[in-house]
Amino acid sequence: MNKGIAYLIGAGPGDYKLITLKGMECIKKADVLLYDRLVSDKLLSFASEDAELIFVGKSPDNHAYSQEEINKLLVKKALEGKTIVRLKGGDPFVFGRGSEEALALKEAGIYFEIIPGVTSAIAVPAYAGIPVTHRKTSSSLHIITGHEDPEKDDTNLNYQVLAKLEGTLVFLMGIQNLKEICSSLILHGQPEDRPVAVIMNGTTSRQRKVFGTLKNIHEILIEQRITNPSVVVVGDVVGLSETLSWFENKPLFGKRILVTRTRQQVSSLTQKIEELGGEVIEFPTIQIVQPDSFDEIDGALGEIEKYQWIIFTSVNGVNSFFNRLKKLDFDIRLLYNARICAIGSVTAKTLEDMGFNIEYVPEVFKAEELVEGLKNKIMIGDRVLLPRADIGGTILVDELNKLGAEIDDIHVYKTVISKQSRDQLQKNLENNIDIITFTSSSTVNNFIQILGKDNLPDLSGIKFAAIGPVTEETAHKAGLKIDILAEDYTIDGLVSAIVKHVIKGEIKTND
């Protein structure tokens, strides 16, 4: 039997984008992925759909697997000839017990690789505006466990030595023992007023930081309800946090935003929100699939020269249309006779990137505005091809007919309800969501269908954001009040509207 390979990977401290490129490559090719409690769910989403995901996380009060069981599981899966990824928070060799897992693999004769991760000892203070070293303040860094092996008879930590260090002390997993840590440092010579910072949920939108001294920080933690996971920083560098703070200054910091776009489209909205400090929970409510039949589009393409106009109403329509052309080895030069129109700047940009000149894009991205702009361009008897979704409304077709045009309204794709479950949605909603975004009427309708109308009252305290008036009207009919409406009916416009409301203080974080 061929043995597999195991990768012991540091996932970083919380922000999923702090994973290394090599770590991400391994996640994508894993057959089996064993992950810890503090590993971001976003990283798991990059694994193959066929990958086996196994939670082996530990918390101070509960272990899904003992360390010995994890070691045996790694060996067992590798002996089955599989590619194993062991995804660990922070760095696997910085108090991560990665060395124990590597030794177990070595003893079993299994090839393994260590892929270092960004340790929370450095990254979490950095996200809090605290440099762990500074030329004028701290010339050394000392990383110390705050939670030693409970089975040891005695501590390996020499507080007499630690108390004499003038550099920065960083304690990982030290919340439970912080009172004893501070007392021991003071007892052996550290000044009572030495600055201390504690950062909880560092590098995530839930990051919180508190400050004190060795004498009072424990009481402050209790008062502020600071818990694990937290990093403790002791030293004069703590005083730089106020000046160098940057992460919490982002306009959407601390906000959790549920995105309901399709899986294919979610990335652009997610990226923009995350760049502004928000945390995105992706819950696609619609899915783009092929039409039941290609007869309509294939028939239209067979006589494409007869069309004077092609009107695209969405990026999905553009992509679906040209994917079919490619599938049929269609000669794109046969579109020479057609003038191209687009609803939406993003739709237009997609076509322009393909090399097309756009005849007209309405300033307001609505069907009525498009027809108003075309009334002096489309002639009576002109043939218009309208490749779009199966649920496209009748307004555009009716208005174009009034201009005397002959319309072929063909379905190049279908929008269907996502396979996401109500349990998944309710679990997400229980996770202190601040804002839910809707980018189309379909996202609204499917959201309601998945959640169930009876559960709408449970959404009090959550703000709803819509990309435009059509989506807003659909939401109102479904019983939802839109609190944030984009002025520019684009993703950028939607994000801009959210930021404006947050800055005005109209949205308070659901803690």
Other Cβ atoms within 10 Å of 221 Cβ, number: 21
Q: What DSSP element (H or E) covers 462?
A: none
CA gap 368, 388 in Å, rounded: 16
* DSSP assigned state of 51: P
User: Rounded to 5 degrees, what are φ and ψ at 31?
Assistant: -85, -35
SS3 state of residue 33: strand
58 is catalytic: yes
Catalytic residue (one of 15, 82, 88, 173): 173
441-451 helix and 422-429 helix, angle to the nearest 10 degrees: 100
List 15, 36, 382, 408, catalytic entry: 36
Distance (Å, whole) CA 67 – CA 88 = 13
Q: What is the sign of the dihedral through the CA atoms of 262, 508, 203 and 218?
A: negative
Contact between residue 478 and residue 489 where contact means Cβ atoms under 8 Å apart = no
Of 3, 42, 58, 414, the catalytic one is 58
Tokens of 299: 């028939």
DSSP 118-153: --HHHHHHHHTT--S-BTTTBS-EEEEESS--TT-S
Does residue 173 carry a catalytic annotation?
A: yes
Per-residue DSSP letter, 449: H
Q: How, if at all, do strands 141-145 and 58-59 pair?
A: unpaired
DSSP state of 81: T
Amino acid present at 313:
T
Separation CA 59–CA 90 (nearest Å):
15
Return all residues near 438 (Cβ < 8 A) that are at least 6 apart. 260, 444, 447, 464, 465, 466, 467, 471, 474, 475, 482
Please answer whether residues 72 and 54 qualify as being in contact, where contact means their C-beta atoms are separated by less than 8 angstroms: no
DSSP code per residue over 168-225: EEEEES-STTHHHHHHHHHHTT--TT-EEEEEESTTSTT-EEEEEETTTHHHHHHHHT
Distance of CA 7 to the CA centre of its chain: 24
Could you write out the DSSP letters of every residue in 322-389? HHHHHHTT--GGGGTT-EEEESSHHHHHHHHHTTPPEEE--SS-SHHHHHHHHTTTSPTT-EEEEEEE
Q: Return the active site residues.
A: 36, 58, 173
